[in-house]
């Protein structure tokens, strides 16, 4: 590709569309272009790349090896560009927009149901909520704040403690009928959450129980999945109580044993040092900490 002459956006969009449909005609219909116009864009892109992107197999256009690699990258880049564009469009008045990221289950079950109370205090503010389960750098992200589980050592950020994690055993009422004592767990299916791999081991050791194979049983990526599996009668899960208050109140799940497990980690809200002094960010941090204190008192 000649320096200073990258592939045009229209060529990339046409290429992605043809790759997805496996032909020019349907791509042209989707893009509201003529077939010859789409074909010219593909030929132009291949000329700039110096590589064939398609080969004809019977009546279909099939990606070459180079085309398949290029298509995956182009599709990802176009998706990221669309997401960035929508985010910029949604910012509007920047001072009235808050971008936060949160763990999926914590966000869906704890934060989002409480957000109306924040917006009642700050009418006109737009709160955009994303989810993340892996560490990230605030410097390379659009987030004003993040709620994560772990410790306070987040480089370039200020962290505020929200709530500790007390895990309880949960299962369906029908499943609980077979659990007369904790030792009955040796015949039960233990449900695990992947980021708390030693939870069951710690719970059993706390009770001086050696049932063998504490790591047995299916693993789930999120606590919400563990809750659903427990509700469906798949086994017994260990879940932070505040994440399953609704199911417990409704009787969909029960706690067969009173003993709980306090984990070493906790939930924190963090904001980058470059944005932590913004009035809206400070207001959100103070509000979510207040909500967490209330939640902890009620637990």
pLDDT of residue 1: 42
Domain contains 70:
yes
Q: How far apart are CA 140 and CA 82, in angstroms?
A: 18
Instruction: Return the CATH number at 14.
Output: 1.10.10.10
pLDDT of residue 190: 95
pLDDT of residue 79: 86
User: In this structure, are 29 and 123 located in the same domain?
Assistant: no
User: In this structure, are 122 and 160 located in the same domain?
Assistant: yes
Domain contains 4:
no
User: In this structure, are 40 and 136 located in the same domain?
Assistant: no
pLDDT of residue 60: 83
Task: Name the domain count of the chain.
Answer: 2
At residue 71, φ and ψ (nearest 5 deg) are -60, -40
Tell me the HSE value of 24 on the side-chain side, using a 13 A CA sphere.
16
Domain contains 3:
no
User: In this structure, are 53 and 157 located in the same domain?
Assistant: no
Domain contains 102:
yes
User: In this structure, are 81 and 137 located in the same domain?
Assistant: no
pLDDT of residue 151: 65
Looking only at Cα atoms, what is the longest distance across the chain? 75
User: In this structure, are 107 and 189 located in the same domain?
Assistant: yes
Domain contains 240:
yes
Domain contains 24:
yes
Q: Give the domain-ending residue among 90, 110, 144.
A: 90
Q: How far apart are CA 67 and CA 52, in angstroms?
A: 7
User: In this structure, are 47 and 129 located in the same domain?
Assistant: no
pLDDT of residue 95: 63
User: In this structure, are 32 and 113 located in the same domain?
Assistant: no
Residue corresponding to tokens 């934060």: 111
Q: Where are the beta strands (DSSP E) in 187-274?
A: 190-193, 219-220, 236-240, 260-272
Encoded tokens for 3? 């320096």
Angle 212-216-222 (CA atoms, 0-180°, nearest 5)?
Answer: 135
Query: Per-residue pLDDT tens for 144-168?
Result: 999 998 866 777 888 899 999 999 9
Domain contains 108:
yes
pLDDT of residue 3: 46
What's the gap between Cα 87 and its chain centre? 17
8 Å CB contact between 268 and 139 = no
Q: Give the domain-ending residue among 90, 117, 142.
A: 90
Spans of the chain below 70 pLDDT: 1-7, 86-95, 151-152, 298-299
User: In this structure, are 44 and 191 located in the same domain?
Assistant: no
First to last CA, the chain: 62
Instruction: Return the CATH number at 160.
Output: 3.40.190.290
Across the strands, what pairs with 161?
268
User: In this structure, are 86 and 162 located in the same domain?
Assistant: no
pLDDT of residue 89: 58
Q: Give the domain-ending residue among 90, 109, 141.
A: 90
Domain contains 246:
yes
User: In this structure, are 49 and 167 located in the same domain?
Assistant: no
Residue 235: give the domain boundaries.
96-299
Q: How far apart are CA 195 and CA 193, in angstroms?
A: 6
pLDDT of residue 215: 84
- DSSP-based three-state secondary structure for 45: helix
User: In this structure, are 122 and 178 located in the same domain?
Assistant: yes
- DSSP-based three-state secondary structure for 63: strand
pLDDT of residue 4: 46
């Amino acid at each position: 590709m000649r320096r200073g002459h990258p592939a045009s956006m229209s060529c990339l969009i046409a290429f992605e569309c043809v790759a997805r449909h496996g032909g020019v005609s349907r791509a042209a219909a989707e893009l509201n272009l003529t077939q010859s116009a789409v074909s010219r864009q593909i030929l132009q892109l291949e000329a700039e790349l110096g590589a064939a992107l398609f080969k004809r197999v019977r009546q279909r256009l099939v990606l070459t090896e180079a085309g398949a690699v290029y298509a995956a990258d182009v599709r990802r880049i176009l998706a990221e560009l669309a997401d960035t564009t929508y985010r910029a469009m949604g910012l509007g008045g920047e001072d009235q927009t808050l971008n936060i990221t949160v763990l999926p289950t914590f966000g869906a079950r704890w934060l989002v149901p409480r957000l109306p109370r924040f917006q009642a205090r700050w009418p006109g503010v737009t709160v955009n909520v994303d989810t993340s389960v892996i560490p990230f750098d605030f410097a390379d992200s659009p987030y004003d704040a993040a709620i994560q589980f772990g410790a306070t050592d987040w480089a370039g950020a200020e962290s505020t403690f929200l709530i500790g994690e007390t895990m309880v055993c949960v299962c369906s009422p029908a499943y609980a009928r077979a659990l007369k004592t904790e030792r009955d767990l040796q015949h039960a299916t233990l449900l695990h959450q992947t980021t708390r791999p030693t939870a069951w081991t710690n719970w059993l050791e706390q009770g001086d129980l050696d049932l063998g194979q504490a790591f047995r049983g299916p693993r789930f990526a999120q606590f919400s999945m563990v809750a659903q599996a427990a509700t469906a009668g798949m086994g017994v899960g260990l879940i932070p109580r505040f994440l399953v208050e609704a199911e417990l109140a409704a009787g969909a799940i029960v706690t067969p044993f009173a003993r709980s497990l306090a984990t070493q980690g906790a939930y924190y809200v963090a904001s980058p040092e470059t944005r932590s002094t913004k009035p809206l960010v400070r207001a959100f941090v103070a509000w979510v900490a207040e909500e967490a204190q209330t939640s902890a008192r009620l637990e």
